[in-house]
Amino acid sequence: MKCDLLDNCMICPRKCGVNRNKKELGFCGQTGKITAAKAYLHAWEEPCISGKNGSGTVFFSGCNLQCVFCQNRQIATGEVSKEITKERLSEIFLELQDKKASNINLVTPTHFVPLIIPAIERARNEGLKIPVVYNSSGYELAETLKSLEGLIDIYLPDCKYYSDEIAIRYSNAPNYFNIAIAAIDEMLRQVGEPLFEIKRSTEDKKTEGGETSDSLNDKTISASLYNELMEDCEDDYLGPLMKKGVIIRHLVLPGQINDSKNVVERLLERYRDKVYLSIMNQFTPFGDLSKYPELKNKVEESDYEDLIDFAIDNGIENGFFQGEGTDMASFIPAFDYKGL
């Protein structure tokens, strides 16, 4: 995918057709230059993404979805935005690796894909070895994702809505669910089923195969063994890191438990244990929600527990659930251009 595709930008489902190289702005609000808000070691992703050292996260500015409840609205709207070159972006990747990042985590990268590709290629040629994570809203074109084949190791998409009515109300994104499913199909085709790599363990525990956790160091393991290790060791375990695979995130919204159940049910029917499903309760009312009074409350604990029970009843095997306290604004990083 070449940067001249930004002359007539059709790289996301919006298909705005604007000339971003001439500073025309489409739905994402971004030109043909990369902009970002922060690059640092992020500790609050899923355990197999953040690991002990943190995920080497680059928060890009702009967004092709623009959810009304976005907690990162400062960067989604481009309010916080610093221009960087492709060359600088590749340097940032290598600097994060030098800081012992678990991976490179590209947050909201969709609208910059043609510019990110050469940055990854350059960094790989100069010694980037850790996995690259594509962390997006799920509102993607499969055709655009195909241009990333061989460059992305882990896909971390959202699957936000099942109902078209809700998708249009909160994100102006008609046909969101079908578009996201087509994108996830392509992601899974590229990276395959989950694989993990154990770098370090804290205890010498026996596994089902008779090996000890220490003897598994520096080995690649399956999802089933990863689940067993995490269940046995719980919070003590420093944990394997994901090496390849797809983790689908679903953020539960207040009052939309039935839509969440539809999302979970259909994801489990389609993918079962080929992916991980991360069910999140961290919704925090943010910004001006005067037109959306139903979003002024937090998610009821009983609703979240009901959804988890529903997922278990529907046979979830590979999943991440959140505990209390994750619906706090303190989990939102300061977008202060650090690391850029």
Task: Summarize the confidence of residues 321-329 as an average pLDDT.
Answer: 68
DSSP sequence for 105-145? EEES-GGGHHHHHHHHHHHHHTT--S-EEEEE-S---HHHH
Mean pLDDT of the chain: 91
pLDDT at position 221, please? 87
Quick check: helix, strand or coil at residue 156? strand
pLDDT at position 227, please? 86
Burial of 172 (0-12, 13-18, 19+ CB in 10 A): middle
197 token code pair: 């790599």
Percent of the chain at pLDDT above 70? 88
pLDDT, one tens digit per residue, over 159-188 is 999 999 999 999 999 999 999 999 999 999
261 token code pair: 């159940």
pLDDT at position 207, please? 47
DSSP-derived letter for residue 39 is E
pLDDT at position 202, please? 46
Q: Do 34 and 60 form a contact (C-beta atoms < 8 A)?
A: yes
Task: Summarize the confidence of residues 61-83 as an average pLDDT.
Answer: 94
Rounded to whole angstroms, the Cα distance separating 93 from 106 reads 10
pLDDT, one tens digit per residue, over 207-233 is 445 444 444 556 888 898 888 877 765
pLDDT at position 271, please? 98
Q: Pick the residue with more confidence: 240 or 311?
A: 311
Sequence-distant (6+) residues with CB within 8 A of 293 are: none
Helical ranges in the chain per DSSP H? 47-50, 73-76, 86-98, 113-125, 142-146, 164-171, 176-191, 223-233, 257-271, 301-313
Q: Do 197 and 220 form a contact (C-beta atoms < 8 A)?
A: yes
Q: Is the pTM of this model over 0.95?
A: no
Sequence-distant (6+) residues with CB within 8 A of 248 are: 138, 157, 158, 159, 184, 267, 271, 275, 276, 277, 278
pLDDT at position 160, please? 98
Rounded to whole angstroms, the Cα distance separating 265 from 312 reads 10
pLDDT at position 201, please? 44
Is the pLDDT at 237 greater than 50? The verdict is no
CA distances from 8 to 3, 24, 116 (A): 10, 10, 18
pLDDT, one tens digit per residue, over 116-173 is 999 999 999 999 999 999 999 999 999 999 999 999 999 999 999 999 999 999 999 9
Is the pLDDT at 238 greater than 60? The verdict is no
Sequence-distant (6+) residues with CB within 8 A of 305 are: none
pLDDT, one tens digit per residue, over 10-34 is 999 999 999 999 999 999 999 999 9
